[in-house]
Amino acid sequence: MSDTVRIDGVQLEVAPGTTILEAAKLAGRWVPTLCFDERQAPFGACRVCMVGVEGSANPLPACTTVCRDGMNVSTEDPTARRVAGAVVELVLSELPAAPAPHTELAQVAQRLQVGAELRWPGAVHAVDHDLEHPYLAFQHELCISCGRCVRACDEVQGAFALTAVGRGFDANVAAGLDGGFLHSSCVSCGACADTCPTDAITEQLLLVGGNGNSAVAAGV
Ligand code: SF4
Ligand code: FES
């Protein structure tokens, strides 16, 4: 038993329960993502993975939308791409420094051609570094609240050291009771740093060696 779907004109058979994002990957098509990590259950928080679906008035999130038999999907639907680009623009506009070029955020922005002319002037996050832990560094101002680190800590490692805190512009992640990694239940597994799409959480060694992040390089 399988469902037949078309992704950008490519017809394929997928197992029931397959998401549009999974089908797009099978079809060799790119969909931008920020809060998605294939090691974790889809979360549907960032709204960057929007795609056009025939018969749907609005773009749909590819990571959480399950394929239906006969579905016709466009990963390059202009409205969906506009939504994704606007979300990435807004996220970038809140950072005090551009994300390092190797990060997922920088790469998604580049591929969506977002960055040179930001439309969202306004407040940027204040620099706030937790550098006490011997292995892990947290540059809170680079956090885009995608939740991947929290889910990695909970679902993958079971350490429950990280918590999503705040709302809207003030949304961020706290380690322990907001006392930093060193004073939390962190077991130094590095799963949070491994999944973070912005290097907000990264390994201390990478900071010492220089990870290309201008905020850290400037010593702020
Ligand atoms: S620290 Fe990184 S992984 Fe965690 S919520 Fe912020 S951006 Fe996402
Ligand atoms: S990747 Fe789908 S909502 Fe974030």
CA of 160 to the centre of ligand 2 (A): 22
Burial of 1 (0-12, 13-18, 19+ CB in 10 A): exposed
CA of 173 to the centre of ligand 1 (A): 7
Calculate mean pLDDT across residues 156-161.
Answer: 90
Fold type of domain 129-217: Alpha-Beta Plaits (3.30.70)
Query: What is the pLDDT of the chain when averaged over all its residues?
Result: 91
pLDDT digits (tens, 9 = 90+) for 8-19: 999 999 999 999
pLDDT digits (tens, 9 = 90+) for 22-65: 999 999 999 999 999 999 999 999 999 999 999 999 999 999 99
Amino acid at the residue 61: P
Amino acid at the residue 199: D
CA of 147 to the centre of ligand 1 (A): 6
Residue given tokens 């920088």 in the structure block: 106
The ligand whose atoms approach the alpha carbon of 151 most closely is: 1
CA of 220 to the centre of ligand 2 (A): 31
The ligand whose atoms approach the alpha carbon of 60 most closely is: 2
Q: Does ligand 2 lie within 6 Å of residue 61's CB atom?
A: yes
Calculate mean pLDDT across residues 62-87.
Answer: 97
| Nearest one of 64, 46, 35, 18 to 151, comparing CA atoms | 35
Q: Does ligand 2 lie within 6 Å of residue 51's CB atom?
A: no
Q: Does ligand 2 lie within 6 Å of residue 144's CB atom?
A: no
Q: Does ligand 1 lie within 6 Å of residue 173's CB atom?
A: yes
The ligand whose atoms approach the alpha carbon of 148 most closely is: 1
The per-residue pLDDT for 218 is 38
For residue 219, pLDDT beyond 50 = no
The per-residue pLDDT for 192 is 97
pLDDT digits (tens, 9 = 90+) for 179-202: 999 999 999 999 999 999 999 999
The per-residue pLDDT for 213 is 44
The per-residue pLDDT for 116 is 60
The per-residue pLDDT for 115 is 77
For residue 211, pLDDT beyond 70 = no
pTM value > 0.95? no
The per-residue pLDDT for 214 is 38
Classify 3-81 by CATH class.
alpha beta
Domain limits of the chain?
3-81, 129-217
CA of 85 to the centre of ligand 2 (A): 13
Contact assessment for residue 36 and residue 24, using Cβ atoms and an 8 Å cutoff: no
User: Token pair of 165, please?
Assistant: 């805190």
The per-residue pLDDT for 216 is 44
Calculate mean pLDDT across residues 72-78.
Answer: 98
CA of 199 to the centre of ligand 1 (A): 8
How long, in residues, is the chain?
Answer: 220
Q: What is the distance between the alpha carbons of residues 63 and 66, in angstroms, rounded to a whole number?
A: 8
Atom number of ligand 2 nearest to Cα 21: 2
CB atoms within 10 A of CB 199: 24
- Kindly state the greatest CA–CA separation across the chain: 58
For residue 120, pLDDT beyond 80 = no
Sheet containing 50-53, strands listed edge to edge, beginning at the edge strand earlier in sequence:
10-14, 3-7, 72-74, 50-53, 60-61
Q: Does ligand 1 lie within 6 Å of residue 147's CB atom?
A: yes
Phi and psi, residue 115, nearest 5°:
140, -45
More confidently predicted of 211 and 117: 117
**The 3-state secondary structure of the chain, one letter per residue:** CCEEEEECCEEEEECCCCEHHHHHHHCCCCCCCCCCCCCCCCCCCCCCCEEEECCCCCCEECCCCECCCCCEEECCCHHHHHHHHHHHHHHHHCCCCCCCCCCHHHHHHHHCCCCCCCCCCCCCCCCCEECCCCCEEEEHHHCCCCCHHHHHHHHHHCCCCEEEECCHHHCEEEECCCCCHHHCCCCCCCHHHHHCCCCCEEEHHHHHHCCCCHHHHCCC
